[in-house]
């Protein structure tokens, strides 16, 4: 396997194994974010330098952690007996605000760096800010919409959305 493709593949496999159908939706959303990030970077003429690629992949990594955090909260609620729909709603209400705070904080830093610097850091910050906004839209709008539609289409069986945890018993 190529070195550049192992990170997204590993993230997708982990999401699908841990969070099942919601993880599949998250993996598709991460792929869409990555494709859109490359598209908008090319659209503004940034070129694919190390600087551009690091801005794209750093924002993608923030989205991976945000989605994993949201889906982890959903899985915990489902395993404690909540309905899938309610668990998703509560996850966005609780852990979603934490990921929203991270996105907004990083976007503010990027905008400040755009204002202050006029050189290479400005280009990095522009691409990073665009990719963060894409990640925010994908995480908080598209993933929520796709997951709600998956619940409507496939039903709310908890086995479809949360892998059971197996705890080792002490001897």
Question: Can you give the pLDDT at residue 37?
Answer: 94
Question: Can you give the pLDDT at residue 155?
Answer: 83
- Its pTM stands at 0.85
More confident site: 62 or 169: 62
Q: Which residues contact 115 (CB under 8 A, 6 or more apart)?
A: none
Q: How confident is the model at residue 45 (pLDDT cuts 50, 70, 90)?
A: confident
Question: Can you give the pLDDT at residue 119?
Answer: 83
Q: How confident is the model at residue 167 (pLDDT cuts 50, 70, 90)?
A: low
Question: What are the CA-CA distances from residue 43 to residues 30, 51, 59, 128, 130 (Å)?
Answer: 20, 16, 17, 14, 11
Question: Can you give the pLDDT at residue 165?
Answer: 61
């Amino acid at each position: 396997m190529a070195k550049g493709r192992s990170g997204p593949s590993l993230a997708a496999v982990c999401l699908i194994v841990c969070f099942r159908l919601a993880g599949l939706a998250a993996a598709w959303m991460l792929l869409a974010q990555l494709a859109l990030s490359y598209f908008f970077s090319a659209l503004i003429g940034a070129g694919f330098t190390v600087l551009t690629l690091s801005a794209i992949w750093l924002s993608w990594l923030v989205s991976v952690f945000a989605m994993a955090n949201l889906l982890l909260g959903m899985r915990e609620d489902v395993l404690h007996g909540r309905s899938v729909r309610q668990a998703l709603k509560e996850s966005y209400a609780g852990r979603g605000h934490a990921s929203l705070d991270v996105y907004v904080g990083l976007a503010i830093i990027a905008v400040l760096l755009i204002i202050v610097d006029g050189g290479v850091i400005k280009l990095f910050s522009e691409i990073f800010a665009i990719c963060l906004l894409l990640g925010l839209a994908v995480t908080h709008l598209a993933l929520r919409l796709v997951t709600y539609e998956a619940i409507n289409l496939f039903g709310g069986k908890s086995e479809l959305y949360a892998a059971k945890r197996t705890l080792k018993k002490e001897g």
